[in-house]
Structure 1
Amino acid sequence: MSDSNTTKFANPSTFILLGIPGLEAAYVWLSIPFCAIYAIALFGNFIILFIVKFEPSLHEPMYYFLCMLAIIDLVLSTSTLPKMLSIFWFNSREIDFRACLTQLYFLHCFAVMESGIFMAMALDRYVAICHPLRHSIILRNPVVAKISLAVILRGSIIILPYPFLVRRLQYCRTNIIPHTHCEHIYMVKLACGDISISNYYGLFVQFCGKWVDMIFIAMSYFEILRAIFKLPTKDAWLKTFGTCGSHLCAILAFYIPSFFSSFTQRFGQNLPLHFQVLIANVYLLIPRMLNPIIYGVRTRQIRQRLLRFFVCGSKI
């Protein structure tokens, strides 16, 4: 440990990541599912990028957004899993202060971007169902590019104060983070003095980065349901709503663990620490693995292209 736990220091040279406190004896066993999740996330998201790139029929707004989602998932999983596995396997717990700030920024920045992509996908589904004849006119490639740029800029800018707010704090208690990665709220809890600015800004990020997106997604699906119920037959209802199935599953896989993790971090003081850390890791890792599976299984074009790839590969 490079810095004393009792000496007052404004910018410690290193932090110590404990991993999952209380479950140290099970690290080898825990590493097996985490490593499998990481491998599936990498393979699945690269497959999605490969299929969309080489399948001309998938060069549409929904699949462009899906490619962005795959890239975001790759960054999120890679920013946390390797360090977590190094803790589990090699007890490599030290992390440089600047590396910790970088991990914190990428982690929260790309999480906000992912929420924005789900909102963009909801917009695409709204236009496709409520204004089908104008879909190609409304969501032209330049418009999709502008939406994507807005999602990237919002995530980059809204999280930019996080590293500076953390850096200005004084850590006079300890530099030990009881977590597998550099989470904003866990770092703030280590600081001395007034942390109200960081706490309030964290709530602001939660509202602007997720709650606003959820409101727009809910509004989109309200209009989608209104349009679906105007269709003449039940078969038409099911067929039209089925085009939203993969998007809805991915939304649930992202937002439910996200809000549960945020709730336990802020109000779950009576919950065991290892449970809070495990929930935070479930939020980070499981959606990254599930997204390519959900879209691969439920999207007919991707499923057919994947089957053709394996069938042709088996004949070679």
Structure 2
Amino acid sequence: MSKTTSIRFKDNQIELAHGAGGKASRRLIEGLIAPILGNPTLNDAALLSLDTSSLAFTADSFVVRPLRFPGGSIGELAVNGTVNDLAVSGARPLALLSSLILEAGLAVETLQAELEAMQATAQRAGVAVLGGDTKVVEHGQADGLYISTSGIGLVDSRVALSAKAVRPGDQILLSGPIGDHGITVLLARGELDLEADLKSDTRSVWPLVEALIEAAAPGLRWMRDPTRGGVATALNELARETRLALRLDEEAIPVREAVRGACEILGLDPLHIANEGQFIAIVSSEFAEAALEAVRRSPGGQEAVLVGEVLEKPGGVVYTTNGYGSSRVVDMLVGDPLPRIC
């Protein structure tokens, strides 16, 4: 595999696009933040090996607007997002820390509701919120409430997930329909004259990942939860790192009609829309069917599907094909069409 080209950060100021999870985010993290901080891990979690086991550490921040939306809220996202970063690193989530940035003027009932949402979500996910920190800033400086979290998990010794393990012939597994979260939050803002019967997919994916590991650990190569930037950005990061091609069957990708319709009206690609309760896995061909059946048997995994394969060429490219024989290249997200969604 060829070495990836280093990135230089040349922008003069930070823009919203730098937080969208696409090309601008990549420039900021790989061109400025990582080199200065000593090139920390760019994966969902950092791994620390102990004598007989490995721990996964992760950190995340949540700045969603509005704070509550159909199917979830910032409190639920703060727990599920952190748990999922651990899960797709092959780690059983154990515990969280949480820091709250409160804006002066925030209603106490709003804060209480989000704290209760965090606690209920943590209980469902089987993790404890052990502590954290609280700060208050001036009115107008924090959009009501920001939440930062960190989490720790125990890595399953049966898996060793890495982009370096991905090989041509491997299959791409998607745990369910894409785009629900991003479009739900966008419509919840009330800025568009659109209505849809949608709710966020926010949830812990650990039960699905645990079933996947039980059934296909020897063939499990790589996983990611496609949040900011969506499936397209996550897979482009993998293609760039491996210099392999990732082919998606466009007709196999599960997208709800409401999401597809909203994307068509707004000129968006569902593959770029954020998800908060789905994951992508790369599985060797001999374990692909067992992996798929294991996820489908798990509660909430009934719509899982194999959506594509890893190929040797054209290297570093993600593309889709359809039944008509046509294809299109799917690039990383450019710009920031959906700011403040997680």
- TM-score of the alignment, normalized to the shorter chain, above 0.5: no
- Higher strand fraction: Structure 1 or Structure 2? 2
Give the number of the structure whose residues are more often helix, by fraction: 1
Q: Which has the higher contact order (CA 8 A, sep 6+)?
A: 1
Flag the structure with larger Rg: 1
